Amino acid sequence: MTKEYLILKRLLSSLLILFLVITLVFVLIRISPGDPTQKYISPKLSSQLAEEVRKSYGLDEPITIQYLNFIKNIFTGDFGISYEYRIPVLKVILEFLPVTLMLAFLSITMQLLLGYFTALFSVRRKNSLIDRLIRKSSVILYVTPGFVLGLILVFIFAVQFEIFPSSGFKSFYYDELTFIGRIKDIAAHLILPLLTLSIPGAALFYNYFRDGIEDVMNKDFVLYLKANGFSDKIIFRKHILPNSLKPILSVAGIELGFLLSGTLVTEVIFSLPGMGRLMMSSILSRDFPLVIACAFISALFIIISNFVFDLIKVKIDRRIWKEILS
């Protein structure tokens, strides 16, 4: 097997997973009880009018025909019209997607940086009191539910000290601010949501970084390099850190995928217009096209993030190719 064959195989399997996900969501949303057209229909209206409404949404056809039409439209990039917003689904998603993208990339960056530098600080003070405190605290922070952490942060920094806004993406006077003022306003609104998303993840990455670095530091080749006069900085940068990144990159790919698919709890607590909140509202309103499109985008982000981080992992450690190809 060649590298190109393995990459092509991975891409095809990813497309198959994506197809199965949207198919499953389509079937589940169609067979679930309820009728999305009922909220537009008054009991006083005739049954003929109700049928006309169902026909306009294409819900009068058998589910197999609806599915085939859906698949045909997907290949042309047409997810249909949102029942709730009355505009193309992709336009709705493009309005909510930027907030989720911003939160996801900022959060994964914060998680990795906080996890790395805290692990480095802890390893240098191995078995000390501060090291033991950090390790125990990391477990507590990781298992703390997101809604609990978010409410605690809101109570402390928004209610008690009134440092940061408690909700929203921007202030009501946002349009009156200068360019720099707008950036500061958005940043102030994002700090608490980012902390809510990043603290548990940083605690997780801290343990991965710490255990990985400590494990590699005890390898025989590290002692060999030290015996041959290599400096600690070079050994750490060129040998210890790269060899400890394999499990971290795997977890980072999964974490980024979930962040990109929408962080429902955080978006609800802080009233942020993101993909997670959009998905929940579309499910509750039975907006079939929007639910399926949100599921498609979420699955696509998870697949892409895992694929990209796998490529990074292979780039850092070329021995992975040898293991796969052997």
Q: How many CB atoms lie within 10 A of CB 118?
A: 20
Q: Is the pLDDT of residue 218 over 60?
A: yes
For the segment 171-189, what is each residue's pLDDT rounded down to a tens digit? 888 888 888 988 898 889 8
Asked if the model's pLDDT at residue 50 lies above 90, the reply is no
CB 201 within 8 A of CB 149: no
At 89-113, the pLDDT tens digits run 889 999 888 888 888 899 999 999 9
Q: What is the rounded CA–CA span in Å between residue 213 and residue 308?
A: 23
Q: What is the mean pLDDT of residues 47-59?
A: 67
Q: Tell me the average pLDDT of the chain.
A: 82
Could you tell me which of 189, 209, 204 has the C-alpha nearest to residue 269?
A: 189
Of residues 52 and 153, the one with the higher pLDDT is 153
| pLDDT of 124 strictly over 70 | yes
d(CA 288, CA 290): 6
- Tell me the C-alpha distance between 170 and 231, whole Å: 49
Domain boundaries, the chain: 93-286+306-325
| pLDDT over 70, % of the chain | 87
93-286+306-325 classified as CATH 1.10.10.10: no
What are the tens digits of pLDDT across the range 35-47? 666 665 555 556 6
